[in-house]
Structure 1
Amino acid sequence: MARDIVDIMDDMESVRDNRKFVMVEILVLSAVLGYYFHSLPAFFGAVIVLAILFVIPYLRIVIFAVLSVIWGIIGYFILTFFLSGFLPAVGGVLIGLLVFFIHKGTA
């Protein structure tokens, strides 16, 4: 019984750490959008919209999908420096899926 409580507390701590990572991703994505549009309201709007998506449980999957696609695209562009053909696309998809399931663990 006591061991189960310790396991539950450990799981809660890892979920809390993952949520901090997602919040950092939200801030970085908002900063990139604000810089791209050269607009401070775009930054704050992105922070507010993404934070609302993250707080509502049913809409949380939307932000996880968007962040996973972004990580997949980043992985694709990095892999194009080292691989050729269809391998960078496969690697990008695998990276995106991996990140999606990591994000899904925070839900």
Structure 2
Amino acid sequence: MALGAWLSAATAQISTSRGLTASVVAAGSADASWCHRALEAAAASLLDRAQRHRSVRPDVSVPQLLKLVNAVALATEHQPEPDRAQQAAALLDLLMDGLRSRAAH
């Protein structure tokens, strides 16, 4: 699923870029606002597609999705590689299971 691949890539980038985690949830400076808008636009497009295909629950919102990505990134950012990637992947698998539409099970 494209959304899952994007979540994985976004989490990896956010967890390795100190300070980016804050811009995912709330925009402040002009740079953070640009970053937030870009992440939000990508997430919105992929989430909409996944929801139209009924692979993700219809009640999931973009802000919720970005907060979950941020949470995974924060939880793993201080882990050394390859543990960081492995732990993030495991958490994202759990997250995707929770996001799946009941019809997709």
Given the two structures, how large is their TM-score scaled by the length of structure 2?
0.37
Normalized per residue, the structure richer in helix is: 1
- With CA pairs under 8 Å and 6+ residues apart, which has the higher RCO, 1 or 2? 2
Q: Which has the greater radius of gyration?
A: 1
Given the two structures, how large is their TM-score scaled by the length of structure 1?
0.37
